[in-house]
Amino acid sequence: MANPTYATPTDDQIAWRDAARASNALPAHLIAFLQCGVSVTLGARRPDGRPIVGAGVACRVSSEGTVRILLSWAGNAELVEAVQAGSAIAATFSRARDHRSIQLKASRAVFNEIAPDDLSEAARQSAILADDLVELGYMRAQADVYALCGTTGLASLEFVPERVFTQTPGPGAGAELSR
């Protein structure tokens, strides 16, 4: 296995600054990253204020800038309940091979039914994540389970990002990427 080149928060800040954007939508390089087979960790708050964590299977970004995270209804029941009760949402996208991580936040999100082509897209993104994990030394069975390759019982969590942060480890992690 070759030594990987690691991402840095500075890489994210430079790419954000240099991205040509016609609007407040996410830049193309970031949309590509969100849809490239990364792990998706979701955070929300229960009505009593306690945090709840969930996991997404895949992400899709519409041409209007709406982020759609595909996730298992059953595996995220508490998170679904918290979001339906009005919790804000945080979604962190992390790439295994270089630890690049981006976090999106929104004050609200909604759930919708999945689109007909969402299952194939979830399978594609999950397979990429599993392949990355195998390259890093995971056994295939472990990688497939971690990547949530099962694509049944999915829902679509949708929101328009209000804030974007680099969460890539290193100096500058946690910095907001301002428009």
pLDDT beyond 70 at 91: yes
> What is the average per-residue pLDDT within 48-73?
94
Q: How far apart (Å, rounded) are the C-alpha atoms in residues 126 and 72?
A: 13
pLDDT beyond 70 at 15: no
Whether 122 is in a domain gets the answer no
Of 23-37, 120-134, 146-160, 161-175, the one with minimum mean pLDDT is 146-160
Q: How far apart (Å, rounded) are the C-alpha atoms in residues 54 and 74?
A: 11
State how many domains the chain has: 1
Determine the 3-state secondary structure of 157 from DSSP: strand
Whether 84 is in a domain gets the answer yes
Whether 26 is in a domain gets the answer yes
pLDDT tens digits, one per residue of 134-169: 999 999 999 988 887 555 689 999 999 999 999 988
Whether 18 is in a domain gets the answer yes
Q: How far apart (Å, rounded) are the C-alpha atoms in residues 127 and 129?
A: 5
Q: How far apart (Å, rounded) are the C-alpha atoms in residues 64 and 84?
A: 23
Q: Would you state the pLDDT for residue 68?
A: 97
Q: Tokens representing 91? A: 């979604």
Q: pLDDT band at residue 1, thresholds of 50, 70 and 90?
A: very low
Q: pLDDT band at residue 63, thresholds of 50, 70 and 90?
A: confident
Whether 144 is in a domain gets the answer no
For the chain, give the percent of residues with pLDDT over 70.
84
Q: pLDDT band at residue 9, thresholds of 50, 70 and 90?
A: low
Strand ranges in the chain using DSSP code E only, listed in sequence order: 39-45, 51-56, 58-61, 67-72, 89-94, 101-106, 110-112, 154-159, 163-166
Q: Tokens representing 129? A: 């994540």
Whether 1 is in a domain gets the answer no
Q: What is the CATH number of the domain that holds 15?
A: 2.30.110.10
pLDDT beyond 50 at 108: yes
Whether 171 is in a domain gets the answer no
pTM for the whole thing?
0.88
Nearest residue to 48 (alpha-carbon basis) of 86, 80, 74, 92: 86
Q: pLDDT band at residue 73, thresholds of 50, 70 and 90?
A: confident
Do 62 and 159 contact (CB within 8 A), yes or no?
no
Whether 79 is in a domain gets the answer yes
Q: Would you state the pLDDT for residue 12?
A: 64
The DSSP 8-state label assigned to residue 76 in this structure reads G
Average pLDDT of the chain, as a whole number: 87
Q: What domain range is 73 assigned to?
A: 9-115+153-166
